[in-house]
Structure formats: C-alpha cells, structure tokens
Structure 1
Amino acid sequence: MDSMNAVKAAIILVCTATCGAMPTSSPRQENLSKAQNYLSQFFSEVGVASPSSVVRSSLDSFNDTLRKMQEFFGLEVTGQLDSNTLEVMARPRCGFNDMARYGHFDGRPKWNKGVITYRITDYTPDMSQSDVDSTIAKAFKLYSNIIPLDFQQSDSETADIMIKFKSGDHGDFAPFDGQDGVLAHAFSPGESNGGDAHFDEDENWTLASEGANLFLVAAHEFGHALGLVHSQDETALMFPTYKYVDTDGYTLPDDDREGVQALYGVRSDILPKPQPEPTSGPPLDRCNRDLVFDAVTTIGGKLFFFKDGYFWRKGGRWEGITRHKIQSVWPGIRKVDAAYENKKRNTVIFFEGNQYWQFRGKTVLPDYPKRLSDFGFPSSVTKVDAAVHVSSISRTLLFVNNKYWSYNEGRRRMDRGYPKFIHRHLPGIGHRVDAAFENRGQLYFSSGSRQTEYHYQRRRALHTLMNYLWLGC
C-alpha cells in the first residue's frame, strides 16, 4: 500500500477547523501525531520510478525532517512544531512527496507518441457529462497548447489514459477516504495503468471556487500523467498544496511550462507567425549603444522589444532575433508606449497614447480599444510610459512620469494608496521608467539607453546594463 501510494499523485484535503474541535484531552499530542504522519508521507526519501523502487528512509529524526519541510515552504527553520508550520500542514494539497522547482519522475518517463488517447469510463453525477468532457479536454489543452502532443478522447478500452470517478476502494490499492480527504490521484506515464487518473466521487465536483474545481484538479493530475512531480514554486500548478485560482483564460505558469517542455519540447505554433520583415522603412540599428526602447514584454516565453512602430522578437538560441512591423502582427497598433502579458488570461495588453488594447494572439478582444480612465487612471493621465507584470504578487506596475500605480489583476482594479513616487518606493532605478519587463524572476527597468536589473522583493538594484545587449550585440 505504501509503495503504491508513493507512486500515486493525489490532492489531499487535510482536516481543518470545519472538521470540528480537537479533543480537549491532548491537543499537543494529536498535533504531533498529525505532523509525524504528514512528514512521513510527504518528506521521507522516496524513489518514484516504480512501486518496487520505493524506499522510505528511517534515518532522519523528526526535527531534521521538520526542518526540511520548513525550508521547502519558506518558513522559519526552527525544527519546532510551531503554529505557522501546523497551518501549512493543514492546507489542501496533493498526496505526492515534495520536490524542488519543477521535477520529473526517476528515469524521466514520458509518452513517446504524438497523439495520446484518453477515455472517461465513469462520470460524476455532480456535473453533466458534456461539462465533464469539455473540462477534461480543456485541462489537456493546457499542455497541448505548448508541447507537441495532442489529446484525443476515445471509446476504446485500450486508450492510453483511463479516467474515472469512483469512491472508496476502486481497485488500485489506494482507496479514497470520503469527502474532504483525497480528491484525486494519477500515475506517471507508462504501460498498463500508466497515466491513469482517478477522481474521488465522494467530493462535490464543480467548475467554481466552491467544492472541488474539476479543471484545476484535473490539470494538476494530468501534469503527473505526463511525467511531472511536485514543484517548490508557489505559483506553479504542480505546487503540492491545492488552491483555487480564477480559471478564466488560465494558462500554465512558467515553472510548469518549463518542466513539461523539458520532457517533450516546444510546440512550434504557439504564437502567430509575424509577417516577413519589410525591406523598406526607417533604419533601426539594434546595436546602437544609445538605443532607447519604447516598451518591452514577454509573450509566450519570448521577449519583444518595441521601437518606432517596429519590434524585435528574441526567440530561442536557434531562432535568433528578427524585426517586424507591429501592425503585421497586431492590426490597429501603430506604436507601443507600454505592454505586458497576462498569462492567466492568455492576453497581451498594449498602451498607445490615451488608449489601451487587449489581444489574444492576433485578435483584438471585443470593445477595445478603451480609454485609460477605464483602466483606473485619473483623467489627467494621457500616456503610460511603461508596464510590467510582477508574477510573484499578481500585480502589474504602471509607470507615468515620476510615479507608478499597482494594478490588481485578480480584482481588476488599482490598489489603494497609489500612485507612489518611483525613486522613494523603488529605490535604485531613478525617477522615470521608459520600459519594463520581467525575465527569469527578475525585473528590468529601462531609462534612456540603460537599464537596471532589480530584485523586487528586496527593493534592491542588482546590475546596470545597456539596452542593446539584449539584442545579440
């Protein structure tokens, strides 16, 4: 049973206050018992290639293992069972053991075919069959959008991934434990039950924030079914604790994308292909030491540098750097003052003058462009100088003259207390920002031909760079 459970990947809801009060006789002893079970299940040393390879270590003391858990979750490493540690242990989570950053199963098992079939053999009565079908397909599409795999629903008994909703003992030596316990589990890629995903029928399956959101749970489990284990990145879908997020326009976070692409490669048609670079037009020397960017943003993992109605697109090592006219990709946009990508909604926001647009791919969304006042700016703001989305806090910073605003993407409104002066609250980057972007967890603020690499959480400048160095010069 322990071996099977170590290979299974499951979302666990640990009993919280809603389960009722603890017995008054020995709450400390009960907390200690729960902590021992938690550490044994999630932080013992395991091999994960197959059930026969699982070996649990009994050498670590309780305090040493507790320190390991506290370090993993960014807690104060005390080796003591304090209230913060207990709170983290009580969060909803997956039942697989914990890793650091994105990770793969031992031996890096993966699917060695271009089309993966799946079959849903048993449905939940909580949702219509068509809603289940569309939600499962949507969860698979998170991955097929970015890796060269396609997923096809099938009625065949030999489908690669078998999916079912069952309660209690359902034939795989890992019985479900009733409502508010294990939500689901899945196997790593392989023969027989490899990739199969099971969902606990005792849960209340929904498409909302209440109950168990099928899309989020399924997307997490399919990550395991494709070969991903857990990540230490709190923003990752494969982070061990389960948390509801807005699923409207949801796309895979960077850590999950990098992990699955490390196994399968990058799908070649993620972004619309720009038109060939025009042979005429104003000369733009990307290697000019005095180069000043109008705007910079990441889109689909690539960097876009905007200047005078054109942009340079910086792809992977083998793609090089190409120049294109903005209107050849995003019709209606003549010049970009500021831009940023909203990965969760799969959109890019462009600011030009006193208006802004939202695009999905090459298509502008309905009712755009809109005026800056609709974004939340006062009427006195007629142009945005720069914008950057800070993924770690789900906020977008927007720069106007010597001040900046903070926009809450979840609530779709400006945060209170803004604008603030740039030089006071972002010390080290000067008084104005011409362009800003995030790359590999760091922020970059350009002012004139120079830019500052910046650690946002510490509010500290790290390095000073020249703009042109990003463009292969």
Structure 2
Amino acid sequence: MDNSYLRTVFLLAVMSWLGTAGGKHDMNEMSAMMYLDRYGYMDAAMEKMNMSANNYTHDVMVMATRQFQSFMGLKVTGNLDRETKAVMMKPRCGVKDMMGPAYSRRSKRYAHIGNVWEMRTVYYKFTGYSRKLAANLVRSEFKRAAEEWSRYVNVRLVPVWSRRRANVRVKFGRMNHGDPWPFDGPYGVLAHASQPHSEAFVHFDDDEKWTANRRGRNFYQTALHEIGHVLGLDHSTDKDAVMFPTVGENNPELKLHPDDINGIKALYDRRFGRFSLEEEWGQTSQKPATIIDKELCENPQIDVMFSDMNGELLVFKGGKMYGIAPEGGVLPHYPQSISERWPELPSEIQAAFTYSDRGTYFLTGSEVWKYEENNQRAKGFPKLIEEVFPGVPSDVDAAMEWEMDGSLFFFKGDNFWCVKNGPPFKGSIFSWPGIPGNLTAAFRYMGNSHFISGNSYYLFDDVSFEVVRAEIPYPRNVSSTWFGCSEFEEKKATPTSEAHCLQHTVTLMLTFSVFVVSRSIQ
C-alpha cells in the first residue's frame, strides 16, 4: 500500500483521537504537528533546513509553525499561540498549502500548481451525489461556480453524462472514500481537488451540512475554491481571495477576487489568448449577456418554467424554448424549438420538473414524458400519469420537486397533490400562504421555491413558509423580473414626439375650456 496513504490515515487517526480533526476541541502540540505535516509545512521546513525526511525535531516544528503563520498572515513567532491554533481549527480545503513552487513563497499572492489544461473545453461528470443537498442543486451550483471562473479565461467547464468523455470526476464521499486522502467528519476538511491531469477529480465531504444558501455549509462557495485547484491554482496567501485555504462566512454570491483573476489569467492568457466575458460582451456588469425578446415582453403568458438536469433555467411558450439567466433576461441564441433538445416531445406542455438525478419529466394532458442523460427519451415513455404517479390527476397546472425530502408537488386549480413513498396527499393551495390557485408554473431554483400565475411572480420563503417580504413587494411582474423586459416596457411607455404633442394639445384645450367656463360664470 502507498506510504502516503498510510501516513494520511495515521495523521487522521491521531487527530481524531485528540478530538481536533473537526475543530471541536483545543489543539495541542501533537495535533498541531499533525496539521502542519498534513498541509506540507513540515516537509517544507525540513527541505529549507536541509534535513532528511521524517526528521520531526523541535526546530523543524518551530520552522513549520513560522511558515504557517507567514502563509496565513499571522504574527510570525514560531510559537503555537492562541491565534495560530484558532486558524488551524477553521474549516478548510484539504489540499496542501506548501507544495511544488509554493515552497519558495512568491511576491505574487496567488500560486500555480504546475499543470494546466491544454484544451479549451474541460468536461466534468458527477459520479456520486450528496445525501444532504438535492442533485439538481448540486449540478446548478457547481455549474454556476465553473462559469464564474470562465468569465475571465477562455476555458469552459462543461457537464457531461458519459464517464469516458469526462476529464474531471466530481463526487461526494465520507471518511475513506477511495483516494489516499480520507475525510475527517464534519467541520474540518470540506473538500479537496487534484490539479489538471487525466484522472482529475473534485471530492466533497458528505458529512458536512451542505446547502445552497447561507445556512449550513454553502456548496457553491466551496465548489468555487475547488474548481480553482482543478484549473491549476494553488492556495493563495491573500485572505480575501477565493483560493485562501480556510473558509470564511457563508457567501452564496461570492465572486472571484482580483488575486484569483490574476492567477488564472497568468495560467491561460498566453496559452489561449486574453479573454473575459466583459470584453466579449462589451460591458462591465457582472450579469451575463442577455437579449430582449419582444414576443415574451408583449405577451408574458408562458406554458412552463423549470430547471433541467444541468441546472439551466428554461421557459416553454408555444413550442419555443427560452434560456433564462439567473438574474433574469433571455440568454443569447434563444428561442429554440423544444424538439431540438428533446426529440419528439409535444409542443404543448402543461408542467415540467427535474426529479433529482432521475430525469426530467414533462406532463401534457394525461401523459408523462421522461428524458434522461443527454436528453434521451426514457424507455417506455410516454406513459399515462396514472401509471407513473398514481392518484395524480390529468391536466395539472404545475409541478415541482421539493428537494428537502424528495417530495413531488402537483398543482391543479386550488389543490395540490404531494407524492412521496405511497399514495398522494391532497391539500389546498391555500396551505401555501399568499400563493394563488390556477398556477402557470412552480419550480425550485437556487434553493428557493418560485411560483408564477399569469404575469405575477411569487418568491416563497421555505423557512418562514410565506411569500418573501421585501421592499419591492411580491407578487412582481414575470416579464420584468425574469424576462428582462423593464427596458422594453420603459421604451413602450415613453410617448413618441407625436404623442407628446397630442398630449400637450389636449392639456392646453382642457385648460382653455376651464378658463372660458370660469369667465362665463363670472
């Protein structure tokens, strides 16, 4: 068996026995030494002192501590003081801090592992999902993190279903999960990733309480960091950088820091040419480029709205499909024909939802159509709704998966049907405070519940179980919130010069009439 594996298992066993692997208790000198060894500081100290490997002397420990303090921006004393131990107990990435060129710390804060991808499109595949976070959320949040890196370099991370095509394999695991670097339970090591190579991977510790919001451990934030590694970046010494080893407060809207951007551009700009989405789109906004679709803006009545297996938000309307940006607005290259992506699917769809990693379901009349990997129609479909979801009526208005517990909700008129492990439970839509009947669409996206009725959009708070209270109250217009029609509506509302003249003429005539009437009364 590989010595590095045995060494890692030994370190974790000692740290677990000491109660420090998960950051739950105080850190003593022995556990601190294990920490410094695990993250490369002991080896770096021995190399700097020209000492043989595995020479764990007091002087090596002091040197390793000094290097750790320097890396983390602490006061460099070589002593295991309270502040140093506090940083050691923070949740963090499992990749070593001191590795490769990072041994001789650089003037630049970012660092490169050494390898880079030689292709512009890197494919990744999920080979294992979380028990804590729904598969569709895992996919969409990982995709969002990958796209944040692709804003600044001409490299794309693209999801695929074929294991043979995947350059990077992504999975969740616990403790000994199939590589030489076991996880350590909750709170300690959150995830780790490899550098770019033929067997590249990203692994997440499924003992963490993963979420897509500010509660628990935010998955997007951790994925953003690990993707930096799989693109070729080492840990940064800049505390504000995404690539800093330890994790700060949850931030589901985290963006790359200039240090991260400089690092990734230094890796790929010379190879593939300078690139950023801002330059490509000719704008400095953080929002993706969108277009205004006149048809959607003039008549925002849609058929369905849902997110597919890749986490992309889609709208169907009269046989056409529109991709919707997370912040709202229609993505370029849309609309497209529904049948282009889902062959043979009818154009009139009443409800659609993605059910974890099982596939995407489309409901029309009394039929259910199911599509799996690569948008291939599942064998035996279409089927009757009664066959697939016994007890659920035909002609439903909307449907969605409640990924908190895997329940399915089907809405029709003023009622809903909840399906989970048995016959459905029928309830009143008014059990959802503030949500009307006769819904147009219901979907889960970015960890929240969303409801649409006509041109009215409702954002639902799953914790307080009510429509979100905001300065601009709900419901809001679907057209301006999701389709980016505010600008279109403003233009439409702005009178033309002819209209201005007519308006002023009417005003003057009314004023003159009032004047004449008042004079005649006198």
- TM-score, reference length from structure 1: 0.50
The answer to which structure has the higher helix fraction is 2
The answer to which structure has the higher strand fraction is 1
| Higher radius of gyration, 1 or 2 | 2
- TM-score, reference length from structure 2: 0.46
